[in-house]
Amino acid sequence: MRDIREVRAYIDAHRQRRQSNKVLHGHPSPVFWLDRDVPVPTVMRSHRPEGDGVRKRINLYVGTPYCLPTDPGRCGFCLFPTEVYRDRQQLDTYLGYLKREGEMFRPYLGGAELSSIYFGGGTSNLYKADQYARLMDIVRGVFDVPPDIEVTLEGIPQTFSHEKLTAMRDSGINRISMGAQQLDDELIKASGRKQTADQVFRTLDSCRRLGLPVSVDLIFGWPNQTINHMLRDLKALVDAGLTHLTHYELNVAGRTDFSRHRREELPSTRQNLEMYRIGRDYLVSEGFTQVTPYDFQRSGSLPSTYLYEELFRKPLREDDGHLVGYDAWGWGFAGISFFFGTPRNPGWAYMNQTRVDDYFRDLDAGRFPVMRGFRYSEIDLRLHLLFQELQSLEVDRRRHLALVGRDAVDEHRPVWDALVDLEWAAVDDDLITIEGDGAFYLPLIQNALAHDRLDAMRKTRRAIGATGVPASGALDAEQRQEVVPVPAARAS
Ligand SMILES: C[S@@+](CC[C@H](N)C(=O)[O-])C[C@H]1O[C@@H](n2cnc3c(N)ncnc32)[C@H](O)[C@@H]1O
Ligand code: SF4
């Protein structure tokens, strides 16, 4: 966009619309990850750059495909690739394949330094108590796991028993992330999840007794949810002593039940903005700090880090005077990996198979279970790193310039001018800061920043589609979802 007026017109045309990709942090969306021949060994070698390249560490994500069946399917709102859970046998089989994938990658990643581990999904607390030690052994089969490393496991309230949480802790898992979404037993029914508020609080109590820090995911903008419902949930969790809360706006997209059948019951974008403001102000008044558009944290009795998420937002950092890069390796079903480099060699993002049969088939055939990927160009790497940093609501201009060779303000001046006018951002010589309603509108801000580049990419994609490489129309509905599994990465 050439000038501030164009940017304003773009924002005005889009700000009342539901924004998608609210849980997406990167650039470009997986819609553009169309390369089916990801050169995995070459990508892996970039993790160990020769000479005086950036030192690298691995931020590890391990996926689990399965979820309890619900009616409507996929909890009515979920955009992540998942498969329906039937029995323990599925989990045993899956763990066997996970181990095989690890063995394929051991020659490349064995001995790599791990920075943190996150077990996500799907539903990673469907495993039985005895399977958590096996899960950790599979990870130890590839990596030397340092004793004090942050290891998080994500799951749903009704399958966190005290016995399981004990087994998790004994196997080395030291942080829990619980997806509650709603605490109102009537509202949660819209998702078909057989979950009660009581189970949420019992899990919190078990975690406290076991010394496990815990964070909870809630969603606002839910069908028939009012501001009172939202405040009641936030207050109940604050009163229970919670120190980290993720408060996502409902992302409505694709062929989910909420998108197809519950639109009438959804609060409008205007009402969601109101909910966002009231929720944020309440949490801040209770001593929380806003660390991303949707993450709020405060200190509590249990010391805890949120390293996995932080390294996703700032994957290049100074450590002891050295520049250290944190690649993300997504291991297992639908895992998403980012192996990025420098402007001279910008790196790759890729995703593993999102159907469990395809994942198994590739491994049976001795192939890396990679579905498709994206080779960054310089401009895409710049945008990607800028998007990641914007998640923390602040961009250090000098650091960004040192990393990518261009100043983020100079490169996107009309966008920043428009955002400063709207009081969604502030810019000075050192920092770009997202403020006011800017955090709520961050997906729109990102779309404005990437507008011209995405236009150019769409044109190329159409041209490529005509020559036989699948264009997005050839992708199935799931693949078209903009989902990245980071809790957060989650790819959404
Ligand atoms: C992929 S889920 C996995 C966790 C677990 N299976 C659960 O359902 O709680 C991770 C988190 O993503 C968030 N999420 C999933 N779909 C979403 C959507 N459509 N809009 C907003 N948040 C979503 C939820 O808050 C959820 O806790
Ligand atoms: S919200 Fe969680 S439990 Fe529901 S389908 Fe998605 S990943 Fe599975």
Residue 343 included in any domain = no
Angle formed at CA 376 by CA 375 and CA 381, multiple of 5 degrees: 160
Q: In terms of domains, do 1 and 57 share one?
A: no
Rounded to an integer, what distance in angstroms lies between the CA atom of residue 83 and that of residue 102?
A: 21
Rg of the chain in Å (alpha carbons):
22
Q: In terms of domains, do 405 and 265 share one?
A: no
Q: Is 182 in the pocket of ligand 1 (CB under 6 A)?
A: no
Q: Is 77 in the pocket of ligand 1 (CB under 6 A)?
A: yes
Q: In terms of domains, do 11 and 105 share one?
A: no
Ligand 2 atom nearest 80 alpha carbon:
6
pLDDT of amino acid 193? 98
On whether the CB atoms of residues 351 and 427 are closer than 8 A, the answer is no
Token pair listed for 389: 């940093």
Exposure of 17 by Cβ count < 10 A (0-12 exposed, 13-18 middle, 19+ buried)?
A: exposed
For residue 456, give the CATH number of its domain: 1.10.10
Residue nearest to atom 1 of ligand 2 (CA): 78
Q: Is 120 in the pocket of ligand 2 (CB under 6 A)?
A: no
pLDDT tens digits for range 303-319: 778 999 999 888 888 88
Which ligand is the nearest neighbour of the Cα of 256? 1
Choose between 135 and 320: higher pLDDT: 135
Q: Which of 310, 337, 365 is the last residue of a domain?
A: 310
Which ligand is the nearest neighbour of the Cα of 252? 1
pLDDT tens digits for range 254-265: 899 999 999 999
Angle formed at CA 274 by CA 271 and CA 279, multiple of 5 degrees: 125
Please, which pLDDT band fits residue 488 given cuts at 50, 70 and 90? very low
Give the three-state DSSP class for 157: helix
Q: Is 250 in the pocket of ligand 1 (CB under 6 A)?
A: yes
- What is the domain extent for residue 408? 1-19+394-438+441-466
pLDDT of amino acid 300? 79
Q: In terms of domains, do 416 and 302 share one?
A: no
Q: In terms of domains, do 202 and 260 share one?
A: yes
Q: Is 20 in the pocket of ligand 2 (CB under 6 A)?
A: no
Exposure of 435 by Cβ count < 10 A (0-12 exposed, 13-18 middle, 19+ buried)?
A: middle
Give the distance (Å) from ligand 2 centre to CA of residue 319.
Answer: 37
Q: Is 179 in the pocket of ligand 2 (CB under 6 A)?
A: yes
Identify the weakest region by mean pLDDT among 25-29, 367-371, 432-436, 477-481: 477-481
Give the distance (Å) from ligand 2 centre to CA of residue 75.
Answer: 6
Q: In terms of domains, do 61 and 166 share one?
A: yes
Q: In terms of domains, do 246 and 280 share one?
A: yes
**Average pLDDT along the chain:** 91
Q: In terms of domains, do 121 and 220 share one?
A: yes
Other CB atoms within 10 A of residue 455 CB: 10
Residue 285 included in any domain = yes
Q: Is 65 in the pocket of ligand 2 (CB under 6 A)?
A: no
Side-chain half-sphere of 182: how many Cα atoms within 13 Å?
A: 25
Residue 59 included in any domain = yes
Q: In terms of domains, do 110 and 242 share one?
A: yes
Residue 215 included in any domain = yes
CA dihedral 387, 337, 143, 96 (to 10 degrees): 140
Choose between 479 and 2: higher pLDDT: 2
Token pair listed for 224: 């028939």
Ligand 1 atom nearest 82 alpha carbon:
1
Q: In terms of domains, do 60 and 12 share one?
A: no
* Amino acid code (one letter) for 148: D
Rounded to an integer, what distance in angstroms lies between the CA atom of residue 340 and that of residue 381?
A: 8
On whether the CB atoms of residues 478 and 78 are closer than 8 A, the answer is no
Token pair listed for 38: 């990801």
Cα separations (Å) of 481 from 79, 121, 164, 251, 254?
6, 15, 32, 11, 7
pLDDT above 60 for 23: no
> Which of 23, 119, 124 is the best mutation target for the ligand 1 pocket, counting ligand atoms within 8 Å of the beta carbon and taking the most?
23
* Amino acid code (one letter) for 439: A
Rounded to an integer, what distance in angstroms lies between the CA atom of residue 329 and that of residue 337?
A: 5
Ligand 2 atom nearest 77 alpha carbon:
1
For residue 57, give the CATH number of its domain: 3.30.750.200
Query: Region 447-463: what's the mean pLDDT?
Result: 89
Q: Which of 270, 294, 310 is the last residue of a domain?
A: 310
Residue 326 included in any domain = no
Number of domains in the chain: 2
Q: How many residues does the chain have?
A: 492
Q: Which of 259, 286, 310 is the last residue of a domain?
A: 310
pLDDT tens digits for range 85-105: 999 999 999 999 999 999 999
Rounded to an integer, what distance in angstroms lies between the CA atom of residue 339 and that of residue 61?
A: 13
Residue 339 included in any domain = no
Residue 380 included in any domain = no
Side-chain half-sphere of 299: how many Cα atoms within 13 Å?
A: 1
Q: In terms of domains, do 294 and 402 share one?
A: no
Q: In terms of domains, do 15 and 147 share one?
A: no
Side-chain half-sphere of 83: how many Cα atoms within 13 Å?
A: 17
On whether the CB atoms of residues 128 and 151 are closer than 8 A, the answer is no
